[in-house]
C-alpha cells in the first residue's frame, strides 16, 4: 500500500467535476464544472471527517495530471489514451450500452475489442478507488461507463461499502439479453451493496435480468446471488438491494439564479429579439437521438403547415447542445434535424417571422435560465430518458407561475410530475394536440399545474436525492467485511 492519504468517502465517475482551461500564455487553470452532481456531492461531502476524493478522467487524452485538491475535495485523475477514449467511451459506452439501454432507438454496435477495453478501463478506475479509499470507506460509483467497478473494487477491498447509481434507464431483460457480456456486467454490478436507479421499473428490470441471466433469486428489492466457483469477476455470493432513488436539481440554487436581475433582464432582451411573439415554444437538449427532437420538429412543422399556429404569433426555439460528435449515429441525426429545420423554415417562415430558431451551441447557465423564463411552453419529448433534468429546471425557473410543461411519458421525470401535459412522442397526432392544449389552456389551469410541479421539485431536490441514496447505502443488507487486503 502506498503512503498517500486515504479518504472515508470516494466518488467514482467517468469525468472529474472540473474542466482544464488553457490560457493563451500556456498556463492552465481548473474550473469547477457546474452541474447537479457537483452541488449534490458538495452538500454530502461536508459530513466526512477525513474528507472526500473523486476519481475520474480529466477530460483530455494522454497522461493524467497528478492528484490535486479542489477546496476540500481530492481529485484523482485517471488517464485515458486516445485509443482508449475511442473504444471504452465513444465505442462501448456510447455506441453499445447507450443505445441498448435506451430501447434500441438506434441499433447498438457490439465489438469484442471495445468490451476488452471497457474492462481494462473499469479495472483502472477500480484500482484508483482502492488506492484512495480508507479502511471501511463509503464508495459511490456513477453510471453505465463503470458497471464492472463495483465487483472489481469488492474483490480487492471487501471492507468497503459500495454504492452505484445509474443515471440512465436499465432496459427490460428482453433487450438487455442481447448484450454478449450480459453476465459479466450483472456480476460487476452485484459487487455493490446498494444499486440506485431512476425509476422503480429500472430497478425491477435489473432484478429480472439477474434472475434470467444469472439464476439469482429476488425478494422485494433484494437480489440474492449464490455466486460461482469459477474464480472470475465477482464470484462470491451476494445479497444486494436495488431500488429507485430519482435524481433532482439544486432547486434553491437554480431559483436564485433565475430570480437574479441579470437573468430577468436577459429574458426580456431574448423575447424582444424574437420579435415579441405571443407564444414561445422551447426545447433544450443534448443533440441525442433519445431526446425525440425529430418527432418534436415533425409535430411542430405540421402545426405550422396546418395553419393551427402561425409564425406571426408563435416561434419555436430549439437549443441542441453539441454531443458525441465522433459517433456516427449523432452525425447522421444532426444532418436529419438540420434538414427538417431548413424545410420547415423554408416552407412557412416569412421575413421577420421565423418559425424555428435552431441553435447548435452550448450556453452558460444564466442564458439557460433566461431562456426558460421566456418559454411559454417547454417541450420535453424524449423517446426514452433516465430522468430529464431540463423538465425540473424549467418549472423551477418559472416561479412567476407562468409557463406550461409538455412531458414525454418515457422520461423518469414523468413519474414524479403528473401535472405536466403528458405526451407519447411517437404519436405525432397526439403530440400536436397536447402542444395545442398547452398553448390554449386557461392561465388559471396552467398555473395550477405549474404550482404542483414546482412544489414537487422544491421538496425533492438534489440534496435530498444524495441523502436518500446514502441512506439506502447505509441500510444495505450485508455488513461490510473487516480487514480487507489491499
Ligand atoms: C443524463 C440522463 C438524467 C443542456 N444544454 C446546456 C446545458 N444543459 C444542461 C441542462 C441539464 C443537463 O445539461 C442535461 O441533463 P438531462 O437530464 O436533461 O440529460 P442528460 O445529459 O442526457 O443526462 C438523464 C441525467 O443524466 C441526470 O441523472 O436526468 O436522463 O440521460 O441540466 O440544463 N447547460 C448549459 N449550457 C447548455 O448549452 N449550461
Q: What is the CATH number of the domain that holds 394?
A: 3.40.50.2000
Between helix 149-156 and helix 112-132 the angle, nearest 10°, is 50
Mean pLDDT of 39-61: 81
User: What's the CA-to-centroid distance between 188 and ligand 1, angstroms?
Assistant: 27
**CB-count burial class (<10 Å; 0-12, 13-18, 19+) for 353:** middle
Q: Are residues 438 and 380 in the same domain?
A: yes
Q: Are residues 112 and 166 in the same domain?
A: yes
d(CA 164, CA 190) in angstroms, rounded, equals 10
User: What's the CA-to-centroid distance between 374 and ligand 1, angstroms?
Assistant: 19
Q: Are residues 169 and 62 in the same domain?
A: yes
Q: Are residues 122 and 149 in the same domain?
A: yes
Q: Which atom of ligand 1 is nearest to the CA of 323?
A: 21
Cα separation values, 15 from 45, 80, 289, Å: 18, 11, 22
Q: Are residues 278 and 238 in the same domain?
A: no
Cell of 400: 412567476
d(CA 34, CA 21) in angstroms, rounded, equals 14
- Contact between 47 and 89 (Cβ < 8 Å): no
User: What's the CA-to-centroid distance between 242 and ligand 1, angstroms?
Assistant: 24
Asked which of 213, 244, 275 is the last residue of a domain, the reply is: 244
Is 50 inside a domain boundary? yes
Asked which of 218, 244, 270 is the last residue of a domain, the reply is: 244
Is 464 inside a domain boundary? no
* Statement: residue 227 has pLDDT above 60: yes
Q: What is the pTM of this model?
A: 0.95
Q: Are residues 298 and 354 in the same domain?
A: yes
Is 44 inside a domain boundary? yes
Percentage of residues of the chain with pLDDT beyond 70: 95
Q: Are residues 72 and 144 in the same domain?
A: yes
Asked which of 226, 244, 262 is the last residue of a domain, the reply is: 244
Per-residue model confidence (pLDDT) at position 34: 63
Q: Which segment of 71-75, 197-201, 387-391, 466-470 scores lowest on mean pLDDT?
A: 71-75
User: What's the CA-to-centroid distance between 347 and ligand 1, angstroms?
Assistant: 32
Q: Are residues 225 and 256 in the same domain?
A: no
Q: Are residues 182 and 50 in the same domain?
A: yes
Q: Are residues 361 and 415 in the same domain?
A: yes
Q: Are residues 219 and 288 in the same domain?
A: no
> If you take atom 38 of ligand 1, which residue's CA is the nearest one?
362
* Ligand 1 pocket by Cβ (under 6 Å): 167-168, 247, 284, 286, 321, 362-365, 368, 385-390, 393
User: What's the CA-to-centroid distance between 90 and ligand 1, angstroms?
Assistant: 18
* Statement: residue 341 has pLDDT above 60: yes
> If you take atom 27 of ligand 1, which residue's CA is the nearest one?
167
Per-residue pLDDT tens over the stretch 86-96: 999 999 999 99
Q: Which domain holds residue 423?
A: 251-459
Amino acid at each position: 500500500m502506498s503512503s498517500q492519504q486515504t479518504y472515508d468517502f470516494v466518488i467514482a465517475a467517468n469525468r472529474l467535476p472540473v474542466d482544464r482551461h488553457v490560457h493563451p500564455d500556456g498556463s492552465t487553470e481548473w474550473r469547477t464544472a457546474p452541474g447537479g452532481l457537483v452541488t449534490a456531492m458538495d452538500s454530502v461531502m461536508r459530513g466526512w471527517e477525513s474528507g472526500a476524493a473523486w476519481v475520474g478522467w480529466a477530460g483530455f487524452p494522454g497522461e493524467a495530471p497528478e492528484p490535486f485538491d479542489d477546496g476540500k475535495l481530492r481529485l484523482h485523475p485517471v488517464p485515458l489514451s486516445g485509443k482508449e477514449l475511442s473504444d471504452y467511451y465513444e465505442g462501448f459506452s456510447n455506441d453499445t450500452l447507450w443505445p441498448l439501454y435506451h430501447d434500441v432507438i438506434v441499433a447498438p454496435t457490439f465489438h469484442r475489442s471495445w468490451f476488452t477495453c471497457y474492462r481494462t478501463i473499469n479495472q483502472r478506475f477500480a484500482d484508483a478507488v482502492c488506492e484512495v479509499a480508507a479502511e471501511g470507506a463509503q464508495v459511490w460509483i456513477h453510471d453505465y461507463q463503470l458497471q464492472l467497478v463495483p465487483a472489481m473494487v469488492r474483490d480487492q477491498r471487501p471492507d468497503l461499502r459500495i454504492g452505484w447509481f445509474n443515471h440512465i434507464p436499465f432496459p427490460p431483460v428482453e433487450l438487455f439479453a442481447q448484450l454478449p457480456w450480459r453476465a459479466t456486467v450483472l456480476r460487476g454490478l452485484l459487487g455493490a451493496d446498494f444499486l440506485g436507479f431512476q425509476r422503480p421499473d429500472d430497478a425491477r428490470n435489473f432484478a429480472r435480468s439477474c434472475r434470467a441471466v444469472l439464476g439469482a433469486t429476488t425478494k422485494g428489492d433484494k437480489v440474492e446471488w449464490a455466486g460461482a466457483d469459477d474464480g472470475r469477476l465477482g464470484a462470491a455470493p451476494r445479497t444486494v438491494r436495488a431500488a429507485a432513488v430519482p435524481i433532482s436539481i439544486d432547486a434553491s440554487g437554480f431559483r436564485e439564479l433565475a430570480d437574479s436581475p441579470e437573468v430577468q433582464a436577459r429574458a426580456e432582451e431574448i423575447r424582444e429579439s424574437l420579435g415579441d411573439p405571443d407564444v414561445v415554444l422551447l426545447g433544450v437538449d443534448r443533440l441525442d437521438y433519445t431526446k425525440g427532437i425529430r418527432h418534436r420538429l415533425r409535430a411542430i412543422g405540421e402545426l405550422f403547415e396546418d395553419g393551427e399556429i402561425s409564425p406571426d404569433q408563435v416561434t419555436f426555439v430549439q437549443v441542441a447542445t453539441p454531443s458525441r460528435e465522433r459517433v456516427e449515429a449523432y452525425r447522421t441525426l444532426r444532418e436529419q434535424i438540420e434538414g427538417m429545420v431548413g424545410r420547415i423554415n423554408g416552407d412557412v417562415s416569412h421575413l421577420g417571422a421565423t418559425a424555428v430558431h435552431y441553435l447548435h451551441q452550448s450556453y452558460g447557465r444564466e442564458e439557460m435560465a433566461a431562456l426558460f423564463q421566456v418559454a411559454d411552453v417547454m417541450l420535453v419529448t424524449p423517446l426514452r430518458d433516465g430522468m430529464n433534468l431540463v423538465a425540473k429546471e424549467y418549472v423551477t425557473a418559472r416561479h412567476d407561475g407562468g409557463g406550461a410543461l409538455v412531458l414525454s411519458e418515457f422520461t423518469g421525470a414523468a413519474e414524479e410530475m403528473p401535472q405536466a401535459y403528458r405526451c407519447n412522442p411517437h404519436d405525432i397526432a397526439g403530440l400536436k394536440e397536447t402542444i395545442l392544449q398547452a398553448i390554449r389552456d386557461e392561465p388559471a389551469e396552467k398555473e395550477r399545474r405549474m404550482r404542483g410541479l414546482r412544489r414537487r421539485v422544491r421538496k425533492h431536490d438534489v440534496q435530498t436525492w444524495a441523502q436518500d441514496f446514502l441512506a439506502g447505502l447505509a441500510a444495505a443488507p450485508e455488513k461490510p467485511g473487516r480487514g480487507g487486503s489491499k
